[in-house]
Chain A
Amino acid sequence: MLKKRIIPCLDIKDGRTVKGVSFINLIDAGDPVELAKAYVKQGADELVFLDITATIENRKALAGLVERIAAEINIPFTVGGGIDTVNDVSILIKAGADKVTVNSSAVRRPKLISEIAGQFGSQCIVVAIDTKLVDDEWIVVVDGGRTITELITINWARRVEELGAGEILLTSMNNDGTKAGFSIDITGEVSRSVNIPVIASGGAGLMEHFRDVFFNTSCSAALAASIFHFGEITIPDLKKYLINEKISIRY
């Protein structure tokens, strides 16, 4: 049976992990490769690395980091942040990334999705959609939530599927950082509306939140950052809990 995936997300700035990581027993907690290795050991099903600086100067450094990750990590990983062109993707894929994720740049120029899918295959393009509830309607937001677009989330999700996205990483900006749980309604609605896998993101605070999103929606994976980084929830504990709750999980 296909398992639901648990995906830690690592934010990268100048080649280091940010958001204060309090992993114990690590030689260097700021080194993304060391942190990634620790997550793999704990049983993470995939990893996402987001370059939050994503300037042109940092691009080379990011490619170097991706090479190091690829050399040491034996599970799939996605890299994102500031990808605007097929050439950006090419550099990251050549360095060893399995998938890339695009967000604002795809909203500004949707054809980017089909260009990437055309050259590297749908399996390698994860479209990140940030969404916010505005006047009772889930709307797509870009630039880290600062800019509200006119796109209705469901419509954009269907559109990115048509354009060749292999997966959607859906973050509810209303829930992100609240630790009050994933947004069940928009995650459920997007998962039902597309035939590609959807990764739920934003709001994880308790193990129950993972159960709820897997139980109540058809999402394929759930992503979280700080709760894992700060050790509030460990991946083995979470997986044990989800198995007890009859969720299909790799353990």
Chain B
Amino acid sequence: MIAILKYSAGNIKSVQNALTRLGYKSIITENPSELLNADKVIFPGVGEASSAIHYLKERGLDKTIISLKQPVLGICLGLHLMCRFSEEGGTKCLGIFDTDVRLFPPVDKIPHMGWNNCLTMKGDLFRDVTVDDDLYYVHSYYAEISSYTVATCDYIIPFSAAMQKGNFYATQFHPEKSAETGEKILKNFLEL
């Protein structure tokens, strides 16, 4: 069973719809034991960092997330929340990825919204995907490139399109909204 973390963020249903299209059953839950016992956990998100962290901490879900041993996929805000600190609301995050999340400098349109390709990519998530394939982004904050970065994208500056540390995976783009390329990436994660 795939568990999708339920919290104060939008876009959760979209993730479930995408899994259903791929033929996977999933539950949307904030129950710690359901999360701990799932085969895979997806940590989605569109929303604001400080209120999301507040919501997770209130329910003790912050501790649940960092203790997960199965493959976990953070998406967009989920990626930000898995980092150390986000400039959005000056938020101390979960610290899975020892790197920070910053606001794009206002030299071009913000949010970075639309389809963009990767500059580099490596690892399990990107099997059968190339740097020419576009993925859908919508975000104003980005994770700096670090030793956890497994894919990079460029908008205003190069940033982490995807990160990985052990069983924790995260994407800045929305695989559930990225047409066939996104489906390949989700499938790669689900088949880990």
A-to-B contact residues, CB < 8 Å: 1-5, 40, 45, 70-72, 74-76, 93-94, 96, 98, 120-124, 166-167, 195-197, 218, 220-221, 250
User: B100 at the A/B interface (Cβ < 8 Å)?
Assistant: no
User: How far, in whole Å, are A220 and B10 apart by their CA atoms in the complex?
Assistant: 24
The count of chain B contact residues (Cβ–Cβ below 8 Å) is 37
Stretch of B34-42, B78-86, B143-151, B171-179 that contacts chain A: B171-179
Inter-chain contact A123/B177, CB cutoff 8 Å: no
Q: Which residue on chain B has the smallest CB distance to residue A221?
A: B114
24 A-B contacts (beta carbon < 8 Å): A2-B116, A4-B114, A45-B114, A45-B115, A70-B14, A71-B21, A74-B176, A74-B177, A74-B179, A75-B178, A75-B179, A96-B13, A96-B14, A98-B11, A121-B10, A121-B46, A121-B47, A121-B48, A123-B111, A123-B113, A124-B10, A124-B46, A197-B113, A220-B109
Q: A123 CB to closest chain B CB, in angstroms?
A: 5
B21 and A74 contacting across the interface, CB-CB below 8 Å: yes
Q: Are B46 and A123 in contact (CB under 8 A)?
A: yes
Chain B residue nearest to A45 in the complex (CB): B115
Taking a contact as CB atoms closer than 8 A, the residue among B17, B140, B182 that contacts A96 in the complex is: B17
B117 within 8 A of A: yes
| B114 with A197: CB separation less than 8 A | yes
On chain A, the residues within 8 Å of B182 by CB distance are: 74
B13 A2 Cβ-Cβ under 8 A: no
A74–B158 Cα distance when bound, in Å, is 26
Known: A5-B115, A75-B136. A195 touches B46 (CB 8 A): no
B180 touches A (CB below 8 Å): yes
Partner of A166, one of B17, B108, B111, B155: B111
Interface code B118-144, partner A: CB below 8 Å = 1, 0 otherwise?
A: 000000000000000010101110000
Once bound together, how far apart are the Cα atoms of A71 and B55, in whole Å?
27
Could you say which of A71, A220, A250 contacts B113, with CB atoms under 8 Å apart? A220
Interface of B is mostly: mixed
Residues of B with C-beta under 8 A to A75? 136, 177-179
Tell me the bound Cα distance from A164 to B183 in angstroms. Answer: 31
Q: Known contacts A74-B180, A75-B136, A121-B48; decide if A195 and B109 are in contact (CB<8 Å).
A: yes
Task: Determine the chain A residues whose CB is within 8 A of the CB of B179 once the complex forms.
Answer: 40, 74-75
Q: Known contacts being A71-B17, A74-B18, A197-B114, is A123 close to B138, with CB within 8 Å?
A: yes
List the B side residues contacting A96 at CB < 8 Å. 13-14, 17
Taking a contact as CB atoms under 8 Å apart, the answer to whether B177 and A98 are in contact is yes
Contact A2 B180 (CB under 8 A): no
A166 to B13, Cβ gap below 8 A? no
CA distance A2 to B138 in the complex (A): 11
CB B82 to nearest CB in A, in angstroms, measures: 19
When chains A and B are docked, how far (Å) is the Cα of A5 from the Cα of B177? 14
Contacts of B138 in A (CB 8 A): 76, 123, 166
- For B136, list chain A residues within 8 Å (CB): 75-76
By the criterion CB–CB under 8 Å, are B115 and A2 in contact? yes
By beta carbon, the residue of chain A nearest B48 is A121
Q: Whole-angstrom distance between the alpha carbons of A219 and B153 in the complex? A: 21
How far does the alpha carbon of A196 sit from the alpha carbon of B111 in the complex, in Å?
Answer: 7
Looking at the assembled complex, report how far the CB atom of A54 sits from the nearest CB atom of chain B, in whole angstroms. Answer: 22
- Enumerate chain B residues within 8 angstroms of A220, measured Cβ to Cβ: 109, 113-114
Other contacts beyond A74-B178, A122-B140: 13, CB < 8 A: A45-B114, A45-B115, A70-B14, A74-B177, A76-B177, A120-B10, A123-B113, A123-B139, A195-B106, A195-B108, A218-B109, A221-B114, A250-B134
Question: Shortest distance in angstroms between B120's beta carbon and chain A's nearest beta carbon?
Answer: 14
A197 → B minimal CB distance (Å): 5
B20 close to chain A: CB less than 8 A: yes
| Distance between Cα atoms of A221 and B111 in the complex (Å) | 14
6 closest pairs, A vs B, by CB? Answer: A250-B134, A250-B115, A3-B115, A123-B138, A2-B116, A76-B177
